[in-house]
Structure 1
Amino acid sequence: MTGTRRAAMFAMVLCALALSIAVPLRTYLSQRDELREVTQQQEKLRTDVAALEQRKQQLSDPAQVEIEARTRLHFVRPGETPYVVQLPGDADRKTEEERPSGKPAANRSWYEQLWESVTHK
């Protein structure tokens, strides 16, 4: 009988040790995984910041700003003749639908402007 009590006490002590170690171990492992994820996010953000710094450096050059304005915004210098090249697939596009409505925004009520902003992408 004393052997059974000793075994029961040993089992209780073993269970108590296992429970007291399990919670901190689980916390440690979850924090380690979270730290790994945060480190990866931080590296990605550093890469993004470096790319944005490089882009900022490029846009500090007036020649690069002019190139961007010409390509993305289709700006031209005074006296230049702009040309628009239509590709074969562009003939099917309905450019009239892509243009803003002829009704000026000042003449429309706020709810008409809101509705139009919701219905047009």
Structure 2
Amino acid sequence: MATQNRDRFSTATRLRLLGEQTAARVYRSQSRRQARRSRLTGRAAFLALVVCSMVVALAYPMRQYVSQRGEIAEQERLAEDAAARVERLRDEKARLQDDAYVRRLAREHLHYVLPGETAFTMNDPETARERRRDQGGAEQPWYSNVWDGVDRADQENR
């Protein structure tokens, strides 16, 4: 028994036991850390899956929302343009109710003259050259000029 006690309390035996206990503690600690890591990895994977699912589920509605907001802004701009055009047309309509304005337009554009007045038409050589250049060099009869003016006026309104 003395050998056992001596063996039990010997330095080598104590060091061996201490090493075994330390190794067991390290092994238990590593297995706990690995268990914790595997749980966190599983949780992280699940969280990543949920986040990806949310992104995929919300991507199309968000794209639709953004595009519809752009369309709404465009329609509001078009409505403002239309309102401004309506206002200009109302102003023009009000001006056309004035007889003096209509007479002035008739005199300027249709070359109307009042009874007792003498009308003069003067040709400017520079303007005639420019007209020929615009028309490709050919002289057109007056009625062609009238129809060209009607066509141009129609295109300007579009």
| Structure 1, unaligned runs of 5 or more | 102-121
Give the counterpart of 1:22 among 48, 54, 59. 59
Alignment RMSD, CA only? 2.2
Q: Structure 2 length normalisation: TM-score?
A: 0.55
Give the Å deviation of 1:50.
Answer: 0.7
**Identical columns (%):** 38
Give the counterpart of 2:91 among 54, 58, 70. 54
Specify the code of the residue in structure 1 equivalent to 2:59.
A
Give the Å deviation of 1:43.
Answer: 1.1
SS state at 2:140 partner: helix
Point out which structure has higher relative CO (alpha carbons under 8 A, 6+ apart).
1
Name the structure where helix makes up a greater proportion of residues: 2
Q: Structure 1 length normalisation: TM-score?
A: 0.69
| Structure 2, unaligned runs of 5 or more | 1-37, 133-137, 145-158
CA distance in 2, matches of 1:98, 1:78: 28
User: In the alignment, what sits opposite 2:106?
Assistant: 69
CA distance in 2, matches of 1:39, 1:73: 40
Call closer, same or farther: CA 1:91–1:27 in 2, change over 3 Å.
closer
Give the counterpart of 1:8 among 16, 24, 45. 45
Q: Aligned pair count?
A: 101
CA distance in 2, matches of 1:48, 1:15: 49
**Deviations, residues 7-64 of structure 1 (Å, cap 9, x unaligned):** 3322221111001111111111111111111111111111111111001000001111
1:35 is aligned to 2:78: no
- Greater shift in the superposed pair: 87-96 or 11-20: 87-96
User: In the alignment, what sits opposite 1:89?
Assistant: 126
SS state at 1:100 partner: helix
CA distance in 2, matches of 1:67, 1:75: 9
User: In the alignment, what sits opposite 2:142?
Assistant: 99
